[in-house]
Homo-oligomer: A and B are copies of this chain.
Amino acid sequence: MTIYEIISKKRDGFELNPDEIREMVLKFSTDGLPDYQMAAWLMAVYFRGMTSAETAVLTETMLHSGDLIDLTDIPGIKVDKHSTGGVGDKTSIILAPIVAAAGVPVPMISGRGLGHTGGTLDKLESIPGFRVNYTIPEFRQKIAKIGVCLIGQTPEIVPADRRMYALRDVTATIQSIPLITGSIMSKKLAEGIDALILDVKTGRGAFMPTYERSVELAKNLIGVGERFGKRTAAYITDMDQPLGNAVGNWLEILECMDCLRKDRDDDLMTLTHQLAGAMIYFSGKASSVEDGIRRSKELIANGAAWNKFIEIVREQNGDASFIENPQKYPKPTFSFQIRAGQDGFISGIDALEVGLVSVSLGAGRMKSDDVIDPKAGILLHKKRGDRVSAGEPLMTIYTDNHAVTESAAQRLLKAVTISAEPVQLAPLIRTFLDKHNC
């Protein structure tokens, strides 16, 4: 089959055979296929979708476009967590030290923020000196030494994804479930994991527009993970309002430190313990997810998770003096409080809008080469369900760019809805999915 025929076949809704999928992906990733033919094929895939067999071949082909990390000589069941991205989602930075402190090896390759969503790498890099660009041998060596390492994608890992993602990003073909599945799972399978916990977000600030699409994505991810022999499960979790109270890189690191030191009973820690508990259970270090959650809470209470966090910072070249003494950190030039205009109960905080405003403050990027200001961001003083009085602070904005504060304040005020009546809270964790129910 020619490339033209492969594009036509997908366009007309037929299932591609493995050779046809391999032809597209491997030729494209080795300069043998023009961008315009790949772009047309990606848009056809966007409209026609892929069967689970096609998605598995896509993932496998992408996976084998580069090197695979072999962690078999490190003892233990290696578990990672992947989130589809949200606003204020810093769970990775809290659960990685918890789970590693439980004795579970955690090989974690994370991403950067783009658009309204933040990225674990950007948050970690707000710690002065913190490095995320280690080689694969260095990554392996750090996991062997301290049980955990958090890095960015290396050039050797799934090069096909880098090229395909760059093209999808400019051709409006990002939001295709099989393409997302191939992209996520090829990178996760390359990490050398044995099991994977997925946090698939749903709601205004989530990548997927509806709950049904989030469930569909989760099922696709689980299907591919299990097909490759990796125990895979997913939680569908709320991203209607930001997670936790901080949005912005260093602000989020401060929040992580707060949670690691004295735990909290809020949405952020409920979700973090749930995911950590599942990881610990999947690793065989707990008898159930609930037992894993108990272990997770213990590891915060006894200081082990905090110590592991310091150990990670030091191992990855971070300046731990900023962790021990955060007052040293540079301060943003401007801060500005947004206050409630009426008495009532917070019924919604639009996560998408909060994410976009935080980008305008300097905390994120709209294009991949935008520069991030680690100090910029937003602190939320109230969350959904909270009672509020007129004049009470809702949020504080931090930025070096005075020009944007007024429009940011106006947008954030509109992003918060206040109701006269007490608010019925939607559940944070909507669904649990694994191979038994999908």
Contacts and interface: CB of A to CB of B under 8 A. Distances in A.
B7 A171 contact: yes
Given A4-B170, A7-B171, A11-B172, A40 B37 contact: no
A87 interface: no
A172 to B, nearest CB: 4
A154 B11 CA distance: 32
Interface stretch (A41-49, A230-238, A241-249): A41-49
A362 to B, nearest CB: 21
A258 interface: no
Contact of A40 (B4, B11, B171): B171
A34 interface: yes
Nearest to A168: B40
Interface in A3-35: 4, 7-8, 11, 34-35
Contacts of A171: 7, 36-37, 39-40
A45 to B, nearest CB: 10
A173 interface: yes
A102 interface: no
A36 B172 contact: no
Interface in A312-333: none
A38 interface: yes
Interface residues of A, number: 21
Contacts of A172: 4, 7-8, 11, 40, 44
A167 interface: yes
Contact of A170 (B11, B36, B42, B43): B36
A138 B173 CA distance: 47
A295 to B, nearest CB: 44
Nearest to A35: B36
A40 to B, nearest CB: 4
Nearest to A7: B172
Contacts of A43: 11, 39-40, 43-44, 47
A302 to B, nearest CB: 49
Contact of A37 (B46, B47, B170): B170
A42 to B, nearest CB: 7
Interface in A145-204: 167, 170-173
A38 B170 CA distance: 11
A380 B347 CA distance: 78
A167 B36 contact: yes
A8 to B, nearest CB: 4
A245 to B, nearest CB: 32
A46 B34 CA distance: 20
Interface string A40-74: 10111011000000000000000000000000000
Contacts of A170: 4, 34, 36-37
A119 B46 CA distance: 35
Nearest to A167: B36
Name which of A42, A170, A172 has the most chain B CB atoms within 10 A of its CB: A172
A363 B39 CA distance: 33
Nearest to A169: B4
A34 B172 CA distance: 14
A39 B38 CA distance: 9
Contacts of A39: 35-37, 39-40, 43, 171
A172 B43 CA distance: 11
A44 B39 CA distance: 11
A173 B46 contact: no
A166 to B, nearest CB: 10
Nearest to A173: B40
Contacts of A8: 172
Given A7-B172, A39-B171, 6 more contacts: A8-B172, A35-B35, A37-B39, A40-B173, A43-B47, A47-B47
Per CB-CB distance, the 8 closest pairs between chain A and chain B, nearest first, are: A40-B171, A43-B43, A36-B39, A35-B36, A7-B172, A39-B39, A8-B172, A39-B40
21 contacts: A4-B170, A7-B171, A8-B172, A11-B172, A34-B35, A35-B35, A35-B36, A36-B36, A36-B39, A36-B167, A37-B39, A37-B171, A39-B39, A39-B43, A39-B171, A40-B40, A40-B43, A40-B171, A43-B43, A43-B44, A43-B47
